[in-house]
Structure 1
Amino acid sequence: MRKIVESVYWVGAVDWDRRLFDSLVPLPDGTTYNAYLVEGSEKTALIDAVDPDMVDTLLGHLDGVEKLDYVISQHAEQDHSGTIALVLDLYPEAKVVTNAKAKSMLMDLLLIPDDKFIVVGDGETLSLGDKTLTFILTPWVHWPETMSTYLAEDKILFSCDFFGSHIATSDLFVRDQGRVHEAAKRYFGEIMMPFRTIIAKNLEKLGPYDIRMIAPSHGQIYDSPGWIIDAYRDWVSGVAHNLVAFPFVSMHGSTRLMVDHLAAALSERDVRVELFNLAVTDIGKLAMSLVDAGTIVLGTPTVLAGPHPMAAYAAFLANALRPKAKYLSIVGSYGWGGKTVETLAGMIPNLKVEVLDPVLCKGLPTDDTYGALDRLADAIAAKHKESGFQR
């Protein structure tokens, strides 16, 4: 148990070893599962729990806490809720405080009985005596039932996954802003980006609250939260950057020659490029690039008349994450023919992009191929300038 302010404690767990989340999301720096204990003069509340693998750590922190009145569940996903049933076994008098959608999910996921719940609505308050909790519904950050909790007397926002980051560290508060900014951006790109228009509305919803501290459910506590709020405003905005995210794969070198030429041509035209060799890349780094990119270019050879499977996965990922990019193109080589462009174009219905003329060549690129790549670079640079992308 670690003290945040008077009568408010961190009782979560640090997972130094975890390297994959949901069997999908890379965790190069591990993660934390944050739970918080708020002791009022009359009642005591636990805000969220931890992943089931870390239950012994949570229960160790709670050792000596004689009475628990409320378990506030802000999000039904099991890394936050999975140990709630065990907490209720330890404190049978405690009630689960959550919203109606979360209640339904928790009953399905954890088999918690109906009579253990207190359902709260948006803006409703709960008194702990000398401390008051206000519940703020923040749907689709990143599930439909998510909410945040505001502790009025201490001006702390317990934000759940909102503003979260996957980092294992012994620091309770943010002390390395650069490292946390990168981790939070990765977290946003991988998890939050599909819901950025809704998240923008939830950011506005926080406006009336005087927030001196943000305590998320993953990552460190922001004791100076202004910069992460500003970062989120940028990430959810519709304004892209003067950046090309360029995932590619090459089997025999022809596509790589095209990728390198186009990347150099874009740089000469003052367009920033980030390359991602899909055979070796950290997919989280690609997600971070997609947060800002004004243009996406996919580089792929043709395999069995279609795109390389890794390029197809990159297209699937971009379609799922719904980034703010306005333009897209495809470059690559083929041996005898195929439908690479048509296949990839059919995989991105969620992207509201203008498709710029693809450049495909048969075998090794020729002078004509390089000329076409130069023209594509011209087109991308002109589009970025016309669109007023951030530099």
Structure 2
Amino acid sequence: MEKRKIKDNIYWLGAIDWDRRLFDSLIPLPDGTSYNAYLIKGSEKTALLDTVDPPMEDTLMEQLRGVEKIDYIISHHAEQDHSGTIGRVLEKFPGAKVVVTPKAKNMLMDLLRLDESVFSPVEDGDVLSLGDKTLTFIHTPWVHWPETMVTYLEQDRILFSCDFFGSHIATSDLFVTDPGRVYEAAKRYFAEIMMPFGKVIAKNLEKLKPYDIDMIAPSHGQIYDQPGWIMDAYDQWVNGAPKNLVVLPFVSMHGSTRQMVDHLASALTDQGVRVELFNLPVTDIGKLAMSLVDAATIVVGTPTVLAGPHPMAAYAAFLANALRPKTKFLSILGSYGWGGKTVETLASMTGNLKVEVLDPVLCKGLASQSDFKALDDMAAAIAKKHKDLDLV
């Protein structure tokens, strides 16, 4: 695909990765992704903002054919899907300076073995003139690495946001054409990548408020030509209260735990609490992560395996602990054959969650009437907790 005009002398470059289905050997990509770079031609200087993942470097280099000179390569983020082709671009434009945060300079020297002489570090708020176009660099640490920054183009009121506000979508549409689809993809992206840094992201959202932003151009996904709704969504995701929602990731080997899960889900529904079940052997982990953005309560359902939780249940607990959602309450349900330390093991894996732990319900073999009564009590307790916090 050729470079595409966004505004006068501002172009999208990059590559659409229609086939990619896994990112970082970890994150599902049901809709593929894109690696967005941008070319800004000022009256005096030209800047390339980010590059592409190395497997797509030939696409970017073909798009740069006919570009006479690049004076600056703006590297917002050192991760290789953004920075990995900088070396190749420098071969074509050896006079270009790589504009980075001071932390990014050191990281790129380590990751790409670039010589120190190619860098031009910038501090938070520094300004770079391209002639008739002015770039302001805003440090946004931990969105989602410590060295990240974004760039604001003053004259055209465009925020080049790198991973901030990104979404993994492969599409030929340059701008957002289906906000519902993009909202879901952006929420998935936030849940899987940004949520652990919610408190810092809230501060970085505040840093953007003084800027008049008409357009957001991220490094993954489509360009927002009406950016207000995605900025509002981020504000809700990081600052808003959790919702009246119980997320219940579970695994069942012989049906006992599933029977308990179904009973609790029904009891919660009767209490006016919304429930989302995730049968872990067949779950899209990205969907589970998205649900954690809103969950007020997590209940992990697991049988006992070798005296501890089922490995898939342990993974769900590990994931929640790593993502650090705004969840307020946590509990466990499940069954065992002769004993074990399921509760202790899962509790030791969730130290990052600032939650109130509710009494677990574990049964020996199939659940009895007293076990079902305990599940009804759990549902009632959760409903009261949610009501006391006025969750909706």
What is the TM-score when the length of structure 2 is the normalising length? 0.99
Matches within 5 A, 1:177-192: 177-192=179-194
RMSD over aligned Cα, in angstroms?
A: 0.6
Q: Is the 8 A contact 1:302 1:334 kept in 2?
A: yes
Amino acid at match of 1:132: T
Cα distance in 1, alignment partners of residues 26 and 175 from structure 2:
27
Cα distance in 1, alignment partners of residues 271 and 65 from structure 2:
62
* Correspondence for 2:308: 306
Q: How much has 1:306 moved relative to structure 2?
A: 0.4
Cα distance in 1, alignment partners of residues 193 and 270 from structure 2:
34
Amino acid at match of 1:111: R
The list of structure 1 runs, each at least 4 consecutive aligned residues, that deviate by more than 2 angstroms after superposition, is: none
Amino acid at match of 2:202: A
Classify the secondary structure of the residue corresponding to 1:300.
strand
* Correspondence for 2:343: 341
Q: How much has 1:248 moved relative to structure 2?
A: 0.2
Amino acid at match of 2:151: T
Cα distance in 1, alignment partners of residues 75 and 144 from structure 2:
15
Match of 1:137 among 115, 139, 142: 139
Match of 2:43 among 41, 44, 49: 41
* Correspondence for 1:388: 390
Q: How much has 1:233 moved relative to structure 2?
A: 0.3
Matches within 5 A, 1:150-165: 150-165=152-167
Classify the secondary structure of the residue corresponding to 1:96.
strand
* Correspondence for 1:97: 99
Matched residue pairs, number?
Answer: 390
Q: How much has 1:237 moved relative to structure 2?
A: 1.3
Match of 1:194 among 193, 196, 199: 196
Cα distance in 2, alignment partners of residues 119 and 12 from structure 1:
24
Matches within 5 A, 1:1-391: 1-237=3-239, 239-389=241-391, 391=392
Classify the secondary structure of the residue corresponding to 2:159.
strand
Cα distance in 2, alignment partners of residues 46 and 54 from structure 1:
16
Amino acid at match of 1:48: D
Cα distance in 2, alignment partners of residues 223 and 309 from structure 1:
44
Q: Is the 8 A contact 1:291 1:324 kept in 2?
A: yes
Cα distance in 2, alignment partners of residues 14 and 121 from structure 1:
32
Cα distance in 1, alignment partners of residues 390 and 143 from structure 2:
29
Gaps of 5+ in 1: none
Amino acid at match of 1:195: F
Amino acid at match of 1:293: A
Amino acid at match of 1:10: W
What is the TM-score when the length of structure 1 is the normalising length? 0.99
Amino acid at match of 1:319: N
Q: Is the 8 A contact 1:238 1:324 kept in 2?
A: no
Gaps of 5+ in 2: none
Amino acid at match of 1:115: S
Q: Is the 8 A contact 1:141 1:161 kept in 2?
A: yes
Q: How much has 1:238 moved relative to structure 2?
A: 5.2
Classify the secondary structure of the residue corresponding to 2:282.
coil
Amino acid at match of 1:174: V
User: Structure 1 vs Structure 2: percent identity of aligned residues?
Assistant: 75
Cα distance in 1, alignment partners of residues 244 and 231 from structure 2:
22
